[in-house]
Each structure stands twice: as C-alpha cells, then as structure tokens.
Amino acid sequence: MKILDRRRFFGVAAAVVAGGARAAGPDSSEAAMYGLIGRIKAVPGQRDSLASILLGGTSEGGLPGCLSYVVALDPTDSEALWVTEVWDSKESHQSSLSLPVVQEAITRGRPLIASFEQFIETSPLGGHGLQG
C-alpha cells in the first residue's frame, strides 16, 4: 500500500479519461496486474462535473493495458468520488499518463478537486471480468 501526493494521484485518476475496459490477455505469465483505488473530494458542487471529466473518454476506445476503470459516487459524502482501476502492468499505467487526452483531462479536472483523501496501490489477482 502506498500513499501518493495530489499531483500524482490526479494523474492516475485522469489517466483513464480516454480509456475504457478491454479484456485481459489469456497468458497468465504476463506481468502482475496493477491496481489503484482512490477517493477524490470535489470542490463543493462540482462532483458531477469532475465525474464527467473522469468518465468522458471511456467510450472513445481503450487505453492500452487498462483492464477496468470505475468511477463511483460515495453515498456517504455528496462531494466525494471513488475511482478504481486495474491495469495489465504498472508500466501500462505509467505510459498512459503521457497521452494528450490524459494531459487535457488533468488540466480540466485539476480545478475541480478539493482533496485526495485516500489512495491505495494494489496487486489484483483476478476477479469477474479480469483474467489473472
């Protein structure tokens, strides 16, 4: 488990704006999957706008290596979002941060973020929709 700073976390969260899920490869000898789970607090009244930015690119084709990306409302806080990601590798995630669409999302979303309250890196083993 690793806590990351605000800039890195937003880069991580925004990395999938252009993405969408794609199926994992069938070869179980691939590098270990890489997961991220984060809670983002939007500035008051901006949660829906921030969610829209984070979800905006998910139907435009996948990001290479992105296996799953979910943005969810926090039912206990009207300003918070949870973002859960699974990548085929940490390297695929890192590479996605340099894509122009991701950089644009970072620029658009940054002013809508009040804080990053939790951020956890994981090593997914598999699950429904994932092959691991």
Q: Would residue 132 count as lying in a domain?
A: no
Q: Would residue 45 count as lying in a domain?
A: yes
Q: What is the pLDDT of residue 75?
A: 97
CATH code for the domain of 59: 3.30.70.100
Helix (H, G, I), strand (E, B) or coil at 20: coil
Tokens of residue 94, six digits: 């890192």
Number of domains in the chain: 1
> Which residue has tokens 């918070």?
80
Instruction: Supply the DSSP string of 58-86, one letter for each residue.
Output: TTS-PPTTEEEEEEEE-TT-TTEEEEEEE
**CA gap 90, 34 in Å, rounded:** 5
pLDDT tens per residue, the chain (132 residues)? 344 444 444 455 444 333 333 333 444 444 599 999 999 999 999 999 999 999 876 545 567 888 998 999 999 999 999 999 999 999 999 998 888 877 888 899 999 999 998 899 999 999 888 865
pTM for this model (two decimals): 0.74
Q: Would residue 127 count as lying in a domain?
A: no
**CA gap 30, 28 in Å, rounded:** 5
Q: Would residue 56 count as lying in a domain?
A: yes
Q: What is the pLDDT of residue 57?
A: 62
Q: What is the pLDDT of residue 27?
A: 45
Q: Which residues of 57-83 are buried (b: 16+ CB within 10 A; e: fewer)?
A: bbeeebbebbbbbebeeeeeeebbbeb
Q: Would residue 128 count as lying in a domain?
A: no
Q: What is the pLDDT of residue 62?
A: 62
Residue-number span of the structural domain to which 58 is assigned: 6-22+33-122
Q: Would residue 28 count as lying in a domain?
A: no
Q: What is the pLDDT of residue 29?
A: 45
Angle between helix axes 100-109 and 6-14 (nearest 10 degrees) is: 120
